[in-house]
Chains A and B, each alone.
Chain A
């Protein structure tokens, strides 16, 4: 009577999940790496020599790093204090401010750029010159990625056990408590958010491309689409992939031994802002107006005319349906995959899975897409390459980190003894999964599905590069139509897209318990 039966089931399922992640994400990255070292069928460093000696490579790399650093700095300077303020203070309307600031992240990044382009068109040439360049890119990307810093700081500082803060409060004022207790204990979450912002800004394609700021992902994309030069495109993609891997490695090294888990009391300690309350609320409201309301209202201003809406439906109605369908299928796969991986990670196999999924999330979509096309564009795999399966694979690889982490965060809250009690009752792994873990994780699964759906829906590079011809999702379709479509029609399409993204966000806001947030 050996313990092999149940272990085998669990292991087989885990290995199937790992195999899916490998096929969807690791194999394409490996394909890129191999391709970049091959020239005329032989090992060669030619592409790298050409890339490094090309006059534009170093300035482009410099621009990418500069843009990522500036975006990270802005997100850190605004997002960290705002996250702490929302988590720890009695600021009025906190939940509403927070969800409002989250809106740019759930839309394709170029929406905010498009909105600002409409704003500066009414101001004048000098504003336009500023927007179409480094400053504009930093502004737009900071608006788009600010929610990452904000939400992760909020979550990390909300999770700090209030008893630790109360103990410090007995001997220190609030500034001391925040500086010596809250911030150090929230540091892993904050650091993670900053690394993530840096890597996502580094790999962003649509905003720099729209605002005409030359960066490395744009070079990789144009090599791939315009010149169809696989070798050069992969060589340009490899540094981006390497930076993503190094970034995640650094993050993992920093988090090692700093992953504090608290026996949370379910309540957070509030700082009373007293006479600062109204002025801080006004400041946050101004921030919301400047970063969200102004550009998006400018973008949607022309969207409501029936003629524009009619034209939008005619030219991109099918893309709307496709977007919803592809995203729903991918979200379902991601929810299941994330839950199973989260389950395995909770069982202790955390470090390597965490690293792999996170690295795939941080790798630019352009890089992943080039790899996917390279890997699957063969006669024998045409059934994947020429169908939406390639797109779904791309979404799966890119976003499985999100559903995995969300699932893990939910699973950690379920006492391990509930599963152990099931085990001692004689239940095998699958029965315990379906009768205990899944029913207790219903809310987590809904959150994971919605988050995955939103991320797939807003995705641009994978949609642009891997969708089958004539079957592009809406985010890619709008980008294509922007070149020659009438602005009101584009605005209507953006509005449709925004509604499709904001409905799940609104549901998400209802599903996620706003623990510690006084309404």
Chain B
């Protein structure tokens, strides 16, 4: 049985069908890149996996457990043990880098001393320990990307979802962050599901790519 199983899931917004009877199985520690043109349903797949949308039909299982089935989220997003890097990064502007990372650990009641150590370790891992007290708007675009990545990983999720996080960066920065990401993935072993419309990003990161069109998988390759 695959680690993540999406079975015949459909989702519409108003009259528009975003996902149409989509089935997708993803193995543990796999790096899957969902690839396709704008509006093909890539982001919706991530949001369904995260529990931010509810499927109308079909079911989603993570590690053998049904997390969503037709019309309801069985497991809420905060209990799914996953991290997400949003397209707009969604860094909380009123919090410092440290507070951004601490927020999730506090919510999960990790001891303060341990939480601080984990935040520092993660910031060192992404090379931003010197920016610990900065607010997001004081960071460069690349630094913001790395903070978002660190925030998503600091609570050690088993799945990392990334929604076109590199789309606004130049090629050199993209390569640097992609290389960081691969390093982190091999260190922590999380399952990576990455959404992009950029073929070069897919080539850099994927152990498998799936092409989506009109809410369906049209092509999959290793």
Q: Does A471 contact B (CB under 8 A)?
A: no
Within 8 A of B (CB), among A7-38: 7
Q: Select from chain B the residue with minimum beta-carbon distance to A423.
A: B77
A-B contact pairs, 11 of them (CB 8 A): A3-B79, A417-B88, A420-B52, A420-B77, A420-B86, A424-B52, A424-B80, A424-B104, A425-B78, A425-B107, A428-B107
Contacts of A439 in B (CB 8 A): 94
Tell me whether A3 and B75 are in contact in the complex, defined as CB-CB below 8 angstroms, given that A421-B84, A427-B103 are known contacts.
yes
Q: Does A266 contact B (CB under 8 A)?
A: no
A255–B78 Cα distance when bound, in Å, is 36
A425–B152 Cα distance when bound, in Å, is 8
Q: State which of A2, A7, A423, A426 has its C-beta within 8 Å of the C-beta of B52.
A: A423
A422–B100 Cα distance when bound, in Å, is 9
Tell me whether A420 and B90 are in contact in the complex, defined as CB-CB below 8 angstroms, given that A425-B107, A425-B151 are known contacts.
yes
Report B's interface with A, CB cutoff 8 A.
50-52, 65, 72-80, 82-84, 86-88, 90-94, 103-104, 107-108, 151-152, 155
Minimum distance in angstroms from B65 CB to a CB of chain A: 8
A418–B84 Cα distance when bound, in Å, is 11
Contacts of B82 in A (CB 8 A): 424
Q: Select from chain A the residue with minimum beta-carbon distance to B52.
A: A420
Contacts of B87 in A (CB 8 A): 417
Interface pair A426/B108, CB less than 8 Å apart: yes
A111–B23 Cα distance when bound, in Å, is 69
A120–B155 Cα distance when bound, in Å, is 73
Interface pair B90/A417, CB less than 8 Å apart: yes
Q: State which of A417, A418, A420, A426 has its C-beta within 8 Å of the C-beta of B104.
A: A426
A435–B103 Cα distance when bound, in Å, is 9
Interface pair A440/B77, CB less than 8 Å apart: no
Contacts of A435 in B (CB 8 A): 103
A349–B82 Cα distance when bound, in Å, is 28
Contacts of A379 in B (CB 8 A): none
Q: Does A239 contact B (CB under 8 A)?
A: no
Q: State which of B52, B93, B155 has its C-beta within 8 Å of the C-beta of A425.
A: B155
Interface pair B50/A3, CB less than 8 Å apart: no
Q: Select from chain A the residue with minimum beta-carbon distance to B108.
A: A426
A128–B107 Cα distance when bound, in Å, is 68
Interface pair B88/A422, CB less than 8 Å apart: no
Interface pair A6/B52, CB less than 8 Å apart: no
Contacts of B93 in A (CB 8 A): 440
Q: 8 shortest A-B CB distances, which residue pairs?
A: A425-B104, A417-B90, A427-B107, A3-B76, A421-B90, A426-B107, A417-B86, A426-B78
Minimum distance in angstroms from A62 CB to a CB of chain B: 44
Minimum distance in angstroms from B92 CB to a CB of chain A: 6
Most chain A beta-carbon contacts within 10 A, residue among B65, B87, B92: B92
Interface pair B50/A6, CB less than 8 Å apart: no
Interface pair B92/A6, CB less than 8 Å apart: no
Q: Select from chain A the residue with minimum beta-carbon distance to B65.
A: A1
Interface pair A425/B76, CB less than 8 Å apart: no
Q: Does A39 contact B (CB under 8 A)?
A: no
Tell me whether A421 and B107 are in contact in the complex, defined as CB-CB below 8 angstroms, given that A3-B74, A6-B76, A440-B94 are known contacts.
no
